[in-house]
Amino acid sequence: MVLAAYLTTALVVSAVGAWHLLRDRTNEGARATFSMAMWILAGDAHGLNTLEHQPTKVMAMEGHFESHPDGAPLILFGLPDQAAATVRYVVEVPKLSSLILKHGLDEPLKGLDSVPRENWPPVPAVFWSFRVMVSLGMLMLSLGGLSLLARYKGRLYEWVALHRFALVMGPAGFVAVVAGWITTEVGRQPFTVYGLLRTAESASPLSAPAVAASLTAFVLIYFAVFGMGILYILHLMAKSPHRGEHGLEPGAPIRTAGITPAPSVDLDRTLHPAE
């Protein structure tokens, strides 16, 4: 999650830098912004942990309705049909899934046919949200690779196509995070606590009207607060970096969010006032 937050921030910052470079490639502030963001793009491998602890989620992500004793294919695209327990119009790479998850072309992988159907997650939602997340991840990796190439050739601030690519990728981090959240939460179904507590057993006893009222209130408040926040941030993004901008005052303390400043306390004097 920390890595996802860094990537999301880096993509937004790079998009802002790219926007101002497209308007004025000599802007030193925009150059620094774009260069800094391009260094942050990175990748992650989380699938092995999920395969160990939540195997049905991985089966749904991969679209493996059937077990593969001699190596499982990597399904790139297709239309999962949960009722028929198959993926239609499939485009796949033979045995690549076994290589990625088990590090061997002929390593066996179980499918959803090894799990009672009542324990299957909603496969289409997990299948497609995972592919949205991975596709955006590949685009992020491509953006990072192109930035290294541009930096090597000395064209980081002159390559218009790269700046446009970065600008388009600005919201990609948010979409990828939401897609990853859907993959995680929907893929765990029908359990709230995987293998221990089913979602149906942990449902709230509150009546539907009460839940609907609180949900409506949350939606309205969040839309208002975040709507105003987004408009303000977009307003700040539209302003071009320029010389003479005020930064932190010399000697000003820097505090982490969530830490409330308080006067220091001399514990020794507090515990031994007479001394």
Domain boundaries, the chain: 2-44+126-202, 61-124
Q: Tell me what pLDDT residue 47 has.
A: 54
Phi, psi of 196 (to 5 degrees): -120, -45
Question: DSSP label at 33?
Answer: H
Calculated CA dihedral for residues 73, 173, 185, 91, nearest 10 degrees:
-20
Q: Tell me what pLDDT residue 271 has.
A: 44
- Which portions of the chain are predicted below pLDDT 70? 40-52, 242-275
∠ CA 63-65-68 to the nearest 5 degrees?
A: 100
Share of the chain above pLDDT 90, in %: 23
Q: Tell me what pLDDT residue 140 has.
A: 86
DSSP string, 170-197: TTHHHHHHHHHHHHHHHHTTTEEETTTE
**Residue pLDDT, tens place only, 27-62:** 787 788 888 887 766 434 455 566 667 888 889 999
Residue 247 three-state SS: coil
Q: Tell me what pLDDT residue 20 has.
A: 85
Total residue count of the chain as it appears in this document: 275
Spatial separation of the C-alpha atoms in residues 31 and 257, rounded to whole Å: 28
> What is the number of other CB atoms lying within 10 angstroms of the CB of residue 72?
29
pTM: 0.75
Q: Tell me what pLDDT residue 43 has.
A: 39
**Residue pLDDT, tens place only, 189-208:** 899 888 888 888 887 778 88
Q: Tell me what pLDDT residue 41 has.
A: 63
CA contacts within 13 A on the Cβ side of 139 = 20
Q: Tell me what pLDDT residue 82 has.
A: 92
Q: Tell me what pLDDT residue 14 has.
A: 86
